[in-house]
Structure 1
Amino acid sequence: MLSQNELLYTLALQRVKNLGDTSAKKLISTVGSAEGVFKEKKHHLLKIDGIGALKLKEVSATLQLPKAEAELHYILKNNIACHYFLEDTYPAKLKHCLDGPILLFERGNIHLHNRNIVSIVGTRKITSYGANFCKQCIEELAPLNPVIVSGFAYGVDISAHKVAVANNLQTIGCLAHGFNQIYPRTHKKYVTQLEENGGFLTEFWSDDPFDRSNFLKRNRIIAGISEATIVIESGEKGGSLVTADIANSYNRDVFAVPGRSTDKQSLGCNNLIKSNQAHMLTSAADLVYMLGWNVSETPRPTTQTQLFVEFSDAEKMLYTYLTSNGKEGLDTIALACQLPTFKVATLLLALELKGAVRPLPGKLFEAI
Structure 2
Amino acid sequence: MKEQELKYWLAWNKISDIGPKRFHKLMEYFGSAENAWSVKSEEISRVLNLSNKISSRISEEKNNITPEQELDLLAKYKANVLTIKDDLYPENLKTIHDPPPVLYFKGNIIEKDKNSISLVGSRKATYYGKMVAENLSKDLALAGLTIISGMARGIDTAAHKGALAVHGRTIAVFGCGIDLIYPPENRRLAKEIEESGALITEFSFSTLPERQNFPRRNRIISGLSLGTVVVEAGEKSGALITADFALEQGREVFAVPGNITSSLSNGTHNLIKQGAKLVNNYRDILEEIPGIVVQETNTKEISAEKFSLSEEDQIIYKIISNEPIHIDEIIEVSKLSASKVSEILLNLELKDLIKEIEGKKFIKL
Fold shared, TM-score > 0.5 on shorter chain: yes
| 1:177 matched to 2:176 | yes
1:289 deviation in Å?
A: 0.6
| Residues 309-343 of structure 1 deviation map (CA, whole Å, 9 limit, x = unaligned) | x9999xxxxxxxxxxxxxxxxxxxxxxxxxxxxxx
SS at match of 1:201: strand
Partner residue in 2 for 1:125: 124
| Residues 259-311 of structure 1 deviation map (CA, whole Å, 9 limit, x = unaligned) | 232221111000011122x221111111111112343479xxxxxxxxxxx99
1:173 deviation in Å?
A: 1.0
| 1:281 matched to 2:279 | yes
Q: Measure the CA separation in 2 of the matches of 1:88 and 1:210.
A: 29
| Residues 109-160 of structure 1 deviation map (CA, whole Å, 9 limit, x = unaligned) | 2324464101110011222322232233223223321111111111000101
Contact 1:234 1:266 in 2 (8 A): yes
Partner residue in 2 for 1:225: 224
SS at match of 1:291: coil
Aligned pair in 2 of structure 1 residues 290, 18: CA closer, same or farther (>3 Å)?
Answer: same
Partner residue in 1 for 2:50: 53
Aligned pair in 2 of structure 1 residues 273, 297: CA closer, same or farther (>3 Å)?
Answer: closer
Contact 1:12 1:65 in 2 (8 A): no
Contact 1:85 1:103 in 2 (8 A): yes
SS at match of 1:169: coil
Aligned pair in 2 of structure 1 residues 107, 159: CA closer, same or farther (>3 Å)?
Answer: same
Q: Measure the CA separation in 2 of the matches of 1:44 and 1:174.
A: 34
| Residues 84-107 of structure 1 deviation map (CA, whole Å, 9 limit, x = unaligned) | 012212111111122322111001
Percent of counterpart pairs with the same letter?
A: 35
Aligned length in residues: 298
Give RMSD over aligned pairs. 2.7
SS at match of 1:195: helix
Partner residue in 1 for 2:161: 162
1:218 deviation in Å?
A: 1.2
SS at match of 1:262: coil
SS at match of 1:66: coil
| Residues 186-231 of structure 1 deviation map (CA, whole Å, 9 limit, x = unaligned) | 1112222111101200122222233122112211111111111110
> Unpaired segments of 5 or more residues in structure 1?
299-309, 314-368
Q: Tell me the amino acid that sits aligned with residue 167 of structure 1.
A: V
Contact 1:82 1:105 in 2 (8 A): yes
Partner residue in 2 for 1:191: 190
Q: Measure the CA separation in 2 of the matches of 1:235 and 1:141.
A: 24
1:61 deviation in Å?
A: 10
Q: Tell me the amino acid that sits aligned with residue 286 of structure 1.
A: D
| 1:12 matched to 2:11 | yes
SS at match of 1:82: strand
Q: Tell me the amino acid that sits aligned with residue 253 of structure 2.
A: V
- Taking the TM superposition and a 5 Å limit, the aligned residue runs for 1:16-95 are 16-39=15-38, 51-54=48-51, 63-64=62-63, 66-95=65-94
Partner residue in 1 for 2:98: 99
Q: Tell me the amino acid that sits aligned with residue 281 of structure 2.
A: S
Q: Tell me the amino acid that sits aligned with residue 107 of structure 1.
A: K
Q: Tell me the amino acid that sits aligned with residue 143 of structure 1.
A: L
Q: Measure the CA separation in 2 of the matches of 1:184 and 1:59.
A: 30
SS at match of 2:200: strand
Q: Measure the CA separation in 2 of the matches of 1:263 and 1:62.
A: 46
1:56 deviation in Å?
A: 5.6
Q: Tell me the amino acid that sits aligned with residue 5 of structure 1.
A: Q
1:179 deviation in Å?
A: 2.7
Q: What's the TM-score, normalizing by structure 2? A: 0.74
1:242 deviation in Å?
A: 1.0
1:65 deviation in Å?
A: 6.9
Q: Tell me the amino acid that sits aligned with residue 232 of structure 1.
A: V
1:243 deviation in Å?
A: 0.9
Aligned pair in 2 of structure 1 residues 12, 65: CA closer, same or farther (>3 Å)?
Answer: farther
Contact 2:13 2:204 in 1 (8 A): no
Q: Tell me the amino acid that sits aligned with residue 214 of structure 1.
A: N
Aligned pair in 2 of structure 1 residues 312, 53: CA closer, same or farther (>3 Å)?
Answer: closer
SS at match of 1:30: helix
Q: Tell me the amino acid that sits aligned with residue 179 of structure 1.
A: I
SS at match of 1:204: coil
- Taking the TM superposition and a 5 Å limit, the aligned residue runs for 1:174-323 are 174-276=173-275, 278-292=276-290, 293-296=292-295
